[in-house]
Amino acid sequence: MSDGHAHAEPLRGPSYRTTGHVEGGHLASEHAHHPMLQHHFDDMGQQAEASTLGMWVFLVTEIMFFGGLFMAYLVYRHAAPSAFQEASHHLNVFYGTLNTAILIVSSLTMALGVRSAQTSAPPKTQVMWIVITMMFGAAFLGIKAIEYTEKFRDHIVPGPGFRWEGLYPRGAEQFYSLYFCMTGLHAIHMVIGLGIMTWLALTALKGRYNAAYYTPVEVAGLYWHFVDIVWIFLFPLLYLIGRHYHAA
């Protein structure tokens, strides 16, 4: 086991060390390297892998972050299923479905944007995809703003001003507490996403991204898709509870 000579046994170890030759023994400054390579990484490949892994680990924290709210939802829906049903009917299925479709389209355009960077498409093309994605994101937020305004108008915002005309007012208020917390948190993430996209568009315009370096685009895309996935679960859980009990 303690062989002592670095070359006498095949070098086991981290699989990302793809080079066949021994890496050790050189100083980083001896290499000509990509201007975006940070000095503590050995090569762009390692940097890209670390960045994507980092974003995935962050997304796991986001899953658990939203997860707390989903847990609250589970508990309260289990406790008052009829109330939740009743309250959910007041939500606008059309808006909800439209928003779902909008986000799905924005995910498509984002994926195409990542691909455009990956294939060294001209900066204008990359920016185009990013901007289209942002437009759909903004549209989503616009519709949510309309929905929220309607809630305020109808006095179904939880708190002292809450007035529920139908059955199960307690449960309905709970439903709307969760509705606002969950969609609100989601909307905040969308806004942050738009901010990230803005930065991405500006840097893409400068021609920074191509096949050799497109990690920020990939990583931003991961974030965007994640926010889409949260909505994919939010939509049926909030908008589609027991719709069959009323006429469509």
Partner 1 sequence: MYCMVFLALLLGTGLTVAAAFVDMGPMNNVVMLTIAGVKASLVVLFFMHVRWSTRLTWVVAMAGFFWLLILFGLGMADYMTRGWVAGTLR
Partner 2 sequence: METLNYLNNGHGLASWLLTKDHKRIALLYLVSITAFFFLGGMFAFMIRLELLTPAGDLMASDTYNKMFTMHGVVMVFFFLIPSIPAVLGNFLIPIMIGAKDLAFPRINLLSWYIYVLGGLFTLVAALSGGVDTGWTFYTPYSTAAANSHVITAALGIFITGFSSILTGLNFIVSVHRMRAPGLTWFRLPLFVWSMYATSLIFILGTPVIAITVLLVAAERTLHMGIFDPALGGDPVLFQHLFWFYSHPAVYIMILPAMGVISEIVQAFSRKNIFGYSFVAFSSLAIAIIGFLVWGHHLFVSGQSVYAGLMFSILSFLVAIPSAVKVFNWTATIYKGSVLLDSAMLYAFGFIGLFTIGGLTGLFLAAVGLDVHVHDTYFVIAHFHYIMVGGAIMGYMGGLHYWWPKISGRMYSEGWAKLAAGLIFIGFNLTFFPQFILGYLGMPRRYHVYPPEFQVLNIASTLGATVLAVGYLLPMVYFTYSMFYGEKASANPWGARGLEWEIPSPPPTENFLVTPIVTHGTHQYAPSREVGIV
Residues in contact with partner 1 by CB under 8 A are 49, 52-53, 56-57, 59-60, 63-64, 67-68, 70-71, 74-75, 78-79, 93, 97, 100-101, 104-105, 107-108, 110-112, 115, 218, 221-222, 225-226, 228-229, 232-233, 235-237, 240, 242-245, 248
- Residues 109 and 189: their CA atoms lie apart, in Å, by 18
CA–CA distance, 79 with 123 (Å, rounded to integer): 53
Using CB distances below 5 to 8 A depending on partner kind, what does residue 228 bind out of partner 1, partner 2, none?
partner 1
Q: Which of residues 1-40 bind partner 2 (CB under 8 A)?
A: 1-6, 9, 11-14, 16-17, 22-28, 38-40
- Spatial contact of 153 and 147, defined as CB atoms under 8 Å apart: no
Contact 83, 174 (CB under 8 A): yes
- Euclidean distance between CA atoms 128 and 13, whole angstroms: 42
Nearest to partner 1 of 17, 225 (CB atom): 225
CB of 159 to partner 1, least distance (A): 26
Please, what's the b/e burial string for 218-229 (b: 16 or more CB within 10 A of its CB; e: otherwise)?
Answer: bbbbbbbbbbbb
Q: Is 125 near partner 2 (CB under 8 A)?
A: no
195 touches partner 2 by CB under 8 A: no
Which are the contacts of 212, defined by CB distance < 8 A and separation ≥ 6?
A: 34, 44
Distance of CA 161 to the CA centre of its chain: 33
Q: Which residue type is seen at 247? A: A
Closer to partner 1 by Cβ: residue 27 or 64: 64
Question: Which residue, 35 or 160, is less far from partner 2 as judged by CB?
Answer: 160
The tokens for 140 are 């989503």
- Judged by beta carbon, residue 157 or residue 241, the one nearer partner 1 is 241
**Closer to partner 1 by Cβ: residue 70 or 162:** 70
Least separation in angstroms between CB 6 and partner 1: 26
The beta strands (E) that lie in 63-219 are given as: none
What torsion, rounded to 10 degrees, do the Cα atoms 174, 175, 178, 184 define?
A: -120
Q: With respect to partner 1, which residue has the nearer C-beta, 181 or 205?
A: 181
For the bound state, the minimum distance from the C-beta of residue 65 to partner 1, rounded and expressed in Å, comes to: 10
Q: Which residues contact 19 (CB under 8 A, 6 or more apart)?
A: none
Contact set with partner 2 (CB under 8 A): 1-6, 9, 11-14, 16-17, 22-28, 38-42, 46, 49-50, 53-54, 57-58, 60-69, 71-72, 75-76, 79, 158-160, 170-171, 173-174, 177-178, 180-181, 185
